Amino acid sequence: MKEKTIEKTLDYLQEFLDWFVRKAGAIALCIFILVVGFRIVKSIKKWLKHSFERHNMDASVSSFLVSFVDIGLKMVLFLWVISIIGVEMSSVIAILSSASIAIGLAVQGSLSNIAGGVLILLLKPFQVGDYIIEDNKKNEGTVVAIDIFYTKLYTVDNKTVVIPNGTLSNSSLTNVTREEKRRIDLFIGISYQESVKRVKEVLARVIDAEENILKEEGVTIFVNDFEASTVSIGVRAWAPMDCFWATKWSLLENIKEAFDEEGISFPYNQLDVHMIEAPKK
């Protein structure tokens, strides 16, 4: 039994070697075509990108089309190489037809991602350059590319996140930078002994001195809540989207400095313990 297995293996190996010798020239030509072809495809992609940029095409559409052309050209190269080796296209089609169910199941996700990419380009829930938060897995970052199957994000700590287009088109997401302005919400705890009126005056002065605050949108300063050891003062103000975080951080720093100058303290969480003597017997 073992000898027959070895003989069959040797026969298959001999058949492969004979086929390889017969097709050596064709195989070498295929390798050459693939190497040159991939370089040509790369050059075409680069040319398309520059062409789209010159015509001011939307970056999201540009990224998707370049990805689509890239995959299409590589498929043409693959079919060309198969035909050069001597594989009949009718045989390939017959194999694909017989395996259509398995292939259909295998590419179901890919087709969903392609359809998702098309929906993203048509409906534009986000574009290249937007900062989004995907609500399903809580992935977030700046959109740098919308390809045929995936959307690529860069996170604030310089990581790359790749999300299938089907996931993004079938779930909710938050587009943080879609609008030109964003509201800053601050909640500041002060002592119960502090004058709320005085604190609000100090906060108003700090906000008025912040040049990036959009004064025309209105500023709201209010008592938000009475907590265990603090009175929570809320602040709402609007800032341009491109300097939102810088404005918020500047406000927090300036509020702390202003409170220090005015002698307004931030109370710590505390627990008052009252000692009661037990009645004498």
Contact assessment for residue 83 and residue 89, using Cβ atoms and an 8 Å cutoff? yes
Global pTM? 0.61
CATH, range 119-175: 2.30.30.60
Specify the pLDDT at position 87. Answer: 66
Domain boundaries, the chain: 119-175, 181-262
Residue 146 CA to residue 154 CA, distance in Å, equals 12
3-state SS, residue 277: coil
Spacing of C-alpha 54 from chain mean position: 26
4-42 confidence digits (pLDDT tens): 676 667 666 767 666 666 677 777 888 888 888 889 888
Reported for 66-70, long-range contacts at CB under 8 A and 24+ positions apart, including other chains, are: 67/145, 67/147, 67/148, 67/149, 68/148, 69/44, 69/45, 70/41, 70/45
Mean pLDDT in the chain? 84
180-226 confidence digits (pLDDT tens): 999 999 999 999 999 999 999 999 999 999 999 999 999 999 999 99
CATH, range 181-262: 3.30.70.100
Q: Which of 31, 20, 147 is nearest to 81 (CA)?
A: 31
Q: Which of 234, 237, 233 is nearest to 184 (CA)?
A: 237
32-86 confidence digits (pLDDT tens): 888 888 898 889 888 888 888 787 777 777 777 888 888 888 888 887 887 777 7
